[in-house]
Amino acid sequence: MNAGELLDQFVVEARECLEAIGAKLLQVEREPGNTALLNDLFRSVHTLKGNCGLFEFKPLESVVHAGEDLLDRVRNRTLDYSRELADALLDAMDFAGQLVDQIERSGRIDDGAGPQSRAHAASLRALLGDLAPAPAQPATDPAPSEPAPRPDWLAALALPAGTCTALRYTPEPECFFKGEDPWRLAATAPGLLQLAVAGQAPWPAGEALDGWDCYRCNLVLTLLSSAPAAEVAQHFRCVADQVELVEPGPAPAAPVAPAAADAVPAFLAQREAALWADQLALLSRPDPAPGVVAACARSLRGLLCARPPAAAQAAREALPTDRCARWPPGRASMPGRRRAAGAGHGPARRRPPRAPRRRPTSRPPSARCSRSARTRSTA
């Protein structure tokens, strides 16, 4: 798809978003308490803003961004939806429609649209400054309650010893069609420490892949952040209805078993025995390659060096006599070198000494002649 086709697609989707925003604004005016409707309206404005950012249409993006911030306050119940607010949003969306018309005609926004864009954005943001402090709640002495249980999804994270913020993000199945990128949103979270990925439903396999819709989001993203909960919530404010956020605190310390001090040596001894058996298994193969023999010799020699002298001597004597009995622990007796030299498995054979070279005898003086003599003879 070329740039022209992308621009045409943007115009079509922008008109659809503006049409949906206008209808929902009127519907919210009749049902200001409908949370699902407010969230849907917010997502439509958020999608339009994201599309504007792809083409760097700044005058259009600034207006839509201001409307997004205003609706975010409304859906979070920190600002009441009023007739004045609805009129300001409708006027801003009408202006956005005019900018889309300009883009359709010439592929760009006219240079004179900047002042009008700033005026609409300022009028929307002015409504954000009229927030009154919430009325104080009467003081009460509630009965002490038990701490809320930890959600099960925290098990996917390794909680650190300090304070942290955990979040579970379950994107909408249709989020890709709204221009959202759940993975990028989660991966750019402030103070990200861990990020776990799972599926909302079991991933299909085999024949079930034929009917699987790869354009529907099936992700569940669980993350741990060192940032405060308020900062993490601000990062995910555009999808606030799709996240669950908790501050789990430090993880409870696991009890230490009395024999934990012996666990590491026991594990090392078990691992050493397994490596020893692996080398012998390689050497037991018929006619192993010289490189394999050399590598096994180095490994066995290293394992012997890690053992006490008495245990090392006992282990060396227990090696198979057909291949390993003649391997001394010294560096100069690496089996691979003897094998590569064609000496077999026995002691290295010495090459018989070469007879000294004789220097050719010089010709007698009579046989030597100078260049001038040859010339005279030829003449």
pLDDT digits (tens, 9 = 90+) for 134-162: 444 444 444 544 556 677 787 777 777 66
Of residues 134 and 110, which shows the higher confidence score? 110
Separation of alpha carbons 205 and 88, rounded Å: 51
pLDDT, tens digit, 9 for 90 and up, residues 263-273: 556 667 777 88
The model's confidence at residue 364, banded by pLDDT at 50, 70 and 90, is low
Average per-residue pLDDT for the chain: 75
Find the range with the poorest average confidence among 74-88, 152-166, 315-329.
315-329
CATH entry, 3-128, from 1.10.275.10, 1.20.120.160, 3.30.210.10, 3.90.550.10 = 1.20.120.160
Reported pTM: 0.41
Band (pLDDT 50/70/90 cuts) for residue 131 is very low
Domain covering 158-202+215-246, topology: Alpha-Beta Plaits (3.30.70)
pLDDT tens column, 156-192: 777 776 678 889 999 988 888 777 888 888 988 888 8
Binned at pLDDT 50, 70 and 90, residue 95 comes out as very high
Residue 237 in this model has a pLDDT that exceeds 60: yes
pLDDT in tens, 271-309: 788 777 887 887 777 877 887 788 888 888 888 887 788
More confident residue, 342 or 290: 290
Alpha-carbon distance of 100 to 266, in angstroms, equals: 72
| Cβ-contact 88, 59 below 8 angstroms | no
Residue 136 confidence (pLDDT): 42
Q: Is the confidence at residue 118, as pLDDT, over 60?
A: yes
What integer pLDDT is reported at residue 365 of this predicted model? 54
**Domain residue spans of the chain:** 3-128, 158-202+215-246, 272-340
Radius of gyration, alpha carbons of the chain: 40
Side-chain-side CA neighbours of residue 187 (13 Å)? 5
In whole angstroms, what is the distance from residue 183 CA to residue 185 CA?
Answer: 5
The pair of structure tokens assigned to 117 is: 């864009």
Torsion of CA 57, 59, 61, 67, to 10 degrees: -160
Burial of 110 (0-12, 13-18, 19+ CB in 10 A): middle
Q: Looking at 78-82, 88-92, 325-329, which range is the least confident one?
A: 325-329
What integer pLDDT is reported at residue 162 of this predicted model? 64
Nearest CA to 346 out of 319, 318, 320, 327 is that of 327
Residues 6+ apart with CB under 8 A from 301: 327, 329
Average pLDDT over every residue of 105-122: 88
pLDDT at 255 over 70: no
Per-residue confidence band for 58, with pLDDT thresholds at 50, 70 and 90: confident
Structure tokens at 210: 């034929």
Contacts of 331 (CB under 8 A, 6+ apart): none
- Which position has the higher pLDDT, 376 or 17? 17
CA 246-249-254 angle, 5° bins: 125
